[in-house]
Amino acid sequence: MTKLPSFCFVLSAGLVITFALPQSAALAADEAKLAAEPVSHDAQFESQSWSFNGPFGAFDRAQLQRGFQVYKDVCSNCHSMRLLSYRNLGESGGPEFSPQDVDILASQVQVTDGPNDKGEMFQRPARPSDRFRSPFPNDAAARAANRGALPPDLSVMAKARPGGPDYIYALLTGYRQPPSGFELSPGMQYNIVFPGHQVAMPPPLFDGVVNYTDGTRPTLNNYARDVSAFLMWAAEPKLEERHRFGATVMIYLIAFGVIMFLAKRSVWARLHGKASHTA
Amino acid sequence: MAHSSSYEPSSGIEKWIDARLPVPRLMYDQFLAFPTPRNLNYWWTFGGILSFMLVSQIATGVVLAMHYVATPTNAFDSVEHIMRDVNWGWLLRYTHAVGASMFFLAAYIHTFRGLYYGSYKAPREVLWILGVLILFLMIATAFMGYSLVWGQMSFWAVTVITNLFSSLDAVIPGLGTRLVQWIWGGFAVGGPTLTRLYSLHYLFPFVIAGVVVLHVWALHIPGNNNPTGIDVKSARDTVPFHPYYTIKDGFALVLFAVLFAGFVFYAPNLLGHPDNYIPANPLQTPQHIVPEWYFLPFYAILRAIPNKLFGVATLMGAIVVLFFVPWLDTSRVRSTSYRPIYKWFFWAFVVTCLVLGYLGSQPPEGIYLVLGRIFTAYYFLFFLLVMPVVGWIEKPKALPGSITESVLGPEKSSPASPQPAPRRRTPEPAL
């Protein structure tokens, strides 16, 4: 019994680490990554307060819908999202477009299908079950259209960079004039968070470039925030289900733990009673 | 096995089975009535937790294997298919991935517990050796499993680790290169490498399960060690495993499950590396190739040595030295609680392992490299110098007279307590 407090302490310390340290750990990882770059260390970025943060976090439907609009109108001109299907846009825990909206969004896109019974490929409007159409037929075509740079697929981008959506937001809002003395390679842009500060992607977002219809102000910061949230959903579409189910599991386990503790104490009390009798 | 059977078949069918294949007798004697020291603390619960983790990993892994496709073009996408389109796939995958970390966390605690309480000392040497063998198999299994994701970090980890064998070129020119190509099944890490890693990743857990059976068997011959390190002397020193330890292990397992679930549901990617969400690209090396956290101390040891062959040898040595611990430790008592000098060296060793873990995550340059070498030196000195020498010169504290006495205090009628530590050398005349 005397060891129980220390044991509980160890496990609760583990829990604290689980819940409290992810952000600092992520930042430490960023620092480690950035420190290794042969450039200055000033490329840090802030954590944003996202609706999906924390153990009870959930996505903001309207934000995801706006974010999809930003992706569709701007990002999708160069960046694929080959792991997503149009049907995902209507699934629960995501932007939750209505089935009619999903049909319309899909049918606005022409995809290649086939071969038909003549052995020919043909174009048809996309169906909800189709994957998002990629802007380029292959990587070589994508490079050819972008001065040799390959726009990465965005399906899991929010999990593929330290900092995730915070990094994406900081990148999209991080374009600046290069400081004096900084030698920018031809065709490159200066960005305060991109490793090495030179990024081939031109600043994609400007105030007013996407028409918001829900009254949200059409600013660069709002676009960047919305599309970062959208990419987080795209990378982690089961996040809400995970948080919800997690709460159930935690409540169950903690209640089970209390019962087990009481059962353990009562069983061992039996022994102590007997032992003190005989001792 | 170690104790006489107390099983009495009551019904006709039990008698019938008992006369033919006495599995119920085995289970009753070994897992219900098994006499277990009454003073085991919560550090002893990790054996049960590890059994649970092995079953959890096999159960989730078998289902994941139904959906995973082990080809370079499909591996990454099939993992994402599991995350997106398989019912509860995200839960299976995160439980399996986080489970590997939890498995190692429990295994390391279990190992340190064995080290602290001298659970490797006679008559438990074989038990310890089997445990080290399980750890070795776990390392191999986890490495192969990590490769299956076929992200950037998977791919380059496979490249780096398999390339370690090419250091044998320094022994026999050409041997290492041929060996590496044989492992790869080609001239680079590719499809044949992935499929064999997959095959072996599926095989090894069952090998581990087999060695675990031997491990438990080897435990049940001498019985459990305990926090005092002294032997069981009377029936009063023990309690039946059930219900006393089934309930205690069960409670600890639930607490461990809370930690496990905390990671799975609220920070499933915290212990992973973002680069592994980038599909493997043989033409682009990541900035830093770092292994999962549970390999970082070994990675620091590997990088502390400037020579490749010796680096690999040292890496292997860091595990192999554990096999010899039962004979490196010359102490006459088991438990570190009664070893006033060794205690300090032991905790310094724990700190060393943690620091090496941190250093393994840092680039091998400047102060990190210097510290890496210092702590690597201590890692080996602890086993090769501290264990034999301190055990020889140290005078242990007085041991309690019995396990029961350590729990309930000295007994009035017992003249034997407290007893001095047993002497290793020829007894000197009593003072």
User: What is the 3-state secondary structure of chain B?
Assistant: CCCCCCCCCCCHHHHHHHCCCCHHHHHHHHHHCCEEECCCCHHHHHHHHHHHHHHHHHHHHHHHHHHCCCCCCCHHHHHHHHHHCCCCHHHHHHHHHHHHHHHHHHHHHHHHHHHHCCCCCCCCHHHHHHHHHHHHHHHHHHHHHHHCCCEHHHHHHHHHHHHHHHHHHHCCCCHHHHHHHHHHCCCCCCHHHHHHHHHHHHHHHHHHHHHHHHHHHHHHCCCCCCCCCCCCCCHHHEEEHHHHHHHHHHHHHHHHHHHHHHHHHHCCCCCCCHHHHCECCCCCCCCCCCCCHHHHHHHHHHHHCCCHHHHHHHHHHHHHHHHCHHHHCCCCCCCHHHCCCHHHHHHHHHHHHHHHHHHHCCCCCHHHHHHHHHHHHHHHHHHHHHHHHHHHHCCCCCECCCHHHHHHCCCCCCCCCCECCCCCCCCCCCC
Separation CA B176–CA B166 (nearest Å)? 4
Is the pLDDT confidence value at A29 over 80? no
Interchain contact B324–A (C-beta under 8 A): no
Ramachandran angles phi, psi of A125, nearest 5°: -65, 145
What value does the mean pLDDT take over residues A17-32?
A: 42
Q: Do B288 and A33 touch (CB under 8 A)?
A: yes
Q: Do A7 and B43 touch (CB under 8 A)?
A: yes
pLDDT for the residue numbered A241: 97
How far A216 CA sits from the closest chain B CA (Å)?
Answer: 30
Residue of B44, B53, B47 lying closest to B116 (CA atoms): B44
Q: What is the DSSP letter of A213?
A: S
pLDDT for the residue numbered A271: 80
Mean pLDDT, rounded, of chain B: 94
How far apart, in Å, are the Cα atoms of A42 and each of A31, A39, A162, A195?
10, 9, 16, 10
3-state SS, residue A83: coil
pLDDT for the residue numbered B4: 82
Q: Do B270 and A22 touch (CB under 8 A)?
A: yes
Q: Which residues of B are less than 8 Å from A254 in CB distance? A: 258
Confidence of residue B408 (pLDDT cuts 50, 70, 90): confident
* Identity of residue A146: N
How far apart, in Å, are the Cα atoms of B227 and each of B12, B271, B396?
42, 32, 15
Interchain contact B362–A (C-beta under 8 A): yes
Separation CA B359–CA B364 (nearest Å)? 8
What value does the mean pLDDT take over residues B355-379?
A: 96
Only one residue has tokens 């290794």, namely: A36
pLDDT tens readout for residues B301-331: 999 999 999 999 999 999 999 999 999 999 9
What value does the mean pLDDT take over residues A18-31?
A: 41
First to last CA, chain B: 41
Q: Tokens representing B143?
A: 């490495």
Beta strand pairing call for A110-113 and A122-125? antiparallel
Confidence of residue B409 (pLDDT cuts 50, 70, 90): confident
- What is the topology classification, in CATH, of domain B290-397? Helix Hairpins (1.10.287)
Separation CA A57–CA A22 (nearest Å)? 15
Confidence of residue B339 (pLDDT cuts 50, 70, 90): very high
Rg of chain B in Å (alpha carbons): 24
Helix axes B46-67, B241-266, angle to 10 degrees: 50
For B31-283, CATH gives: 1.20.810.10
Is the pLDDT confidence value at A212 over 80? yes
Tell me the count of A-B CB pairs closer than 8 A. Answer: 132
Q: Do B261 and A250 touch (CB under 8 A)?
A: yes
| Rounded percentage of chain A residues whose pLDDT exceeds 70 | 82
What value does the mean pLDDT take over residues A29-57?
A: 67
The angle at the Cα of B67, spanning A231 to A89, to the nearest 5 degrees, equals: 30
| Rounded percentage of chain B residues whose pLDDT exceeds 90 | 92
Contact B261, A14 (CB under 8 A): no
pLDDT tens readout for residues B181-240: 999 999 999 999 999 999 999 999 999 999 999 999 999 999 999 999 999 999 999 999
pLDDT for the residue numbered B431: 46
Is the pLDDT confidence value at A26 over 70? no
Separation CA B233–CA B127 (nearest Å)? 21
Is the pLDDT confidence value at A78 over 90? yes
pLDDT for the residue numbered B417: 54
Separation CA A212–CA A65 (nearest Å)? 10
How far A207 CA sits from the closest chain B CA (Å)?
Answer: 31
Q: Which residues of A are less than 8 Å from B363 in CB distance? A: 32, 35-36
Interchain contact B186–A (C-beta under 8 A): no
pLDDT for the residue numbered A67: 98
pLDDT for the residue numbered B418: 62
pLDDT tens readout for residues B95-110: 999 999 999 999 999 9
Interchain contact B283–A (C-beta under 8 A): no
Is the pLDDT confidence value at A32 over 90? no
- The dihedral formed by the CA atoms of B296, B299, B301 and B304, expressed in degrees to the nearest 10: -120
Q: Which residues of B are less than 8 Å from A276 in CB distance? A: 408
Is the pLDDT confidence value at A36 over 70? no
Residue of B292, B295, B296 lying closest to B271 (CA atoms): B292
The partner residues of B277 in beta bridges, in order of sequence, read none
Q: Which residues of A are less than 8 Å from B263 in CB distance? A: 18
pLDDT for the residue numbered B49: 98
pLDDT for the residue numbered A277: 42
Q: Strand ranges (DSSP E) for chain A?
A: 110-113, 122-125, 189-190, 198-199
pLDDT for the residue numbered A113: 95
Q: Which CATH class is domain A42-84+131-237?
A: mainly alpha
pLDDT for the residue numbered B410: 77
What value does the mean pLDDT take over residues B105-119?
A: 98
User: Which among A7, A30, A81, A138 is the top mutation candidate for probing chain B, defined by the most B β-carbons within 10 Å of its own β-carbon?
Assistant: A7
Interchain contact B424–A (C-beta under 8 A): no
The angle at the Cα of A94, spanning A88 to A97, to the nearest 5 degrees, equals: 70
3-state SS, residue A276: helix
Is the pLDDT confidence value at A18 over 70? no
Residue of A270, A263, A275, A267 lying closest to B237 (CA atoms): A275
How far A121 CA sits from the closest chain B CA (Å)?
Answer: 23
If one counts every other C-beta atom within 10 angstroms of the C-beta of residue B148, the result is 22
Residue of A nearest to B413 (CA): A279
Q: What is the DSSP letter of A202?
A: -
Beta strand pairing call for B238-240 and B35-37? antiparallel
Mean pLDDT, rounded, of chain A: 87
Residues 6+ apart with CB under 8 A from B27: none
Confidence of residue A40 (pLDDT cuts 50, 70, 90): very low
What value does the mean pLDDT take over residues B32-55?
A: 97
Q: Do B236 and A278 touch (CB under 8 A)?
A: yes
Separation CA A172–CA A189 (nearest Å)? 12
pTM of the model: 0.91
Q: Which of residues 31-60 of B touch A (CB under 8 A)?
A: 38, 41-43
Is the pLDDT confidence value at B425 over 70? no
Q: Strand ranges (DSSP E) for A135-196?
A: 189-190
Residue boundaries of the structural domains of chain B: 31-283, 290-397
Q: Which residues of A are less than 8 Å from B77 in CB distance? A: 83
pLDDT for the residue numbered B287: 87
Is the pLDDT confidence value at A178 over 90? yes
